[in-house]
Amino acid sequence: MPGVPVPRARKLVVAGLLVDDVGRVLVTQRRADQPLPLQWEFPGGKIEPGESPTAALVRELREELGVEAEVGGIWEALFHAYPEFELIMLVYRCRLGPDQVPRPVEVADLRWRPPDDLGDLDILPADAPLVRRLAAEGAPPWRPGLFDPGSP
């Protein structure tokens, strides 16, 4: 029907805000063979059918960075409209155990950066509001999660 917008696909994703002992945050660079190649983002990914958001984030951090992380509270929830799809992202504050060292397993690169020093990176458009918030407020303190949306 003319004039009726075609609905775009909607993706629900999770991301982890990892903060080290000196207050730097971890960002990862997408691989060259991925959509939006070599852009920077906060680590995470898609929620699989039947998977809770926190389980998805634990899995994604293990796959991308080779680490086991503890998922805390939701720090941010945002919406971004890309030309091809709409994205809903839940961003959780996460922390690593003392023996966990991230490495670029399924990402091109990773960097620990001060929260106010991310502006020179080519950040994904959906992640740009997170960068602005970190620059204004700094990294949030750890707090445990209170609930897991979508869990039984």
Question: Does 143 reside within a domain?
Answer: no
* Chain segment 85-129, per-residue pLDDT in tens: 999 999 999 999 889 999 999 999 999 999 999 999 999 999 999
Overall number of domains in the chain: 1
Instruction: Please enumerate in sequence order all residues whose Cβ is within 8 A of that of 141, keeping only pairs 6 or more positions apart, or say none.
Output: none
Domain that holds residue 75: 9-137
**Residue at 44: amino acid letter:** G
Question: Does 22 reside within a domain?
Answer: yes
CATH number assigned to the domain comprising residue 126:
3.90.79.10
Instruction: Give the residue from 76, 90, 93, 65 showing the smallest Cα distance to 14.
Output: 90
Separation CA 42–CA 89 (nearest Å): 11
Question: Does 58 reside within a domain?
Answer: yes
Instruction: Please enumerate in sequence order all residues whose Cβ is within 8 A of that of 49, keeping only pairs 6 or more positions apart, or say none.
Output: none
* Chain segment 19-66, per-residue pLDDT in tens: 999 999 999 999 999 999 999 999 999 999 999 999 999 999 999 999
